[in-house]
Amino acid sequence: MNKNYIKKSTTFFKRKTAVKLISKKLLNNLTSFSYKKNDRACRICIHNDNNDEHQEMVILQKKYKYFPPKKNLVSDQTFFIISGKLLIVTFDSKGKVKSKIILSKKENLIARIKKNTYHADIPLSNRTIHFETKKSKFDPKNNKFAKFNFKLSSVI
């Protein structure tokens, strides 16, 4: 497996309160925590649990550490940049790049990827924080990982 792929081990923070606020202090805490966890992505889940119909997360990823290309079979997926730069690459079913979009506070802020579209979100900054949302319960079967080979060097 590509050494830049993030392994399954992702750290989750869950907040079970009636009103859920994401403050700068909380983001700073997330950043501090992420440095203790090496290459793991860290996320704050705004939804209560995996059965919520709407999954919402604030995700911190480190430069070039990403999940393998995949497509969501059930829902569109929206990305909103909070800090850093995030490259979103879409592919056809054979792995040919269809589009490359960079999200940053200076230009493109939001991207929505239609369901059944292979994509990868790749952090380009030492620390990238983005908000991600999709309308589906969490189920590993909702995502299909690409079978094509993907090399980071082919898109950056």
Run of H or E residues at 29? helix 24-36
CA-based Rg of the chain, rounded to a whole angstrom? 15
Mean pLDDT lowest for which of 1-10, 16-25, 140-149?
1-10
d(CA 112, CA 28): 26
- Whether residue 74 is predicted with pLDDT greater than 90 in this model: the reply is yes
Q: Could you tell me the pLDDT band of residue 44, with boundaries at 50, 70 and 90?
A: confident
- Mean pLDDT value across residues 55-74: 92
Whether this prediction's pTM lies above 0.75 is answered by yes
Identify the CATH class of 11-149.
mainly beta
The Cα–Cα gap between 5 and 114 comes to 23
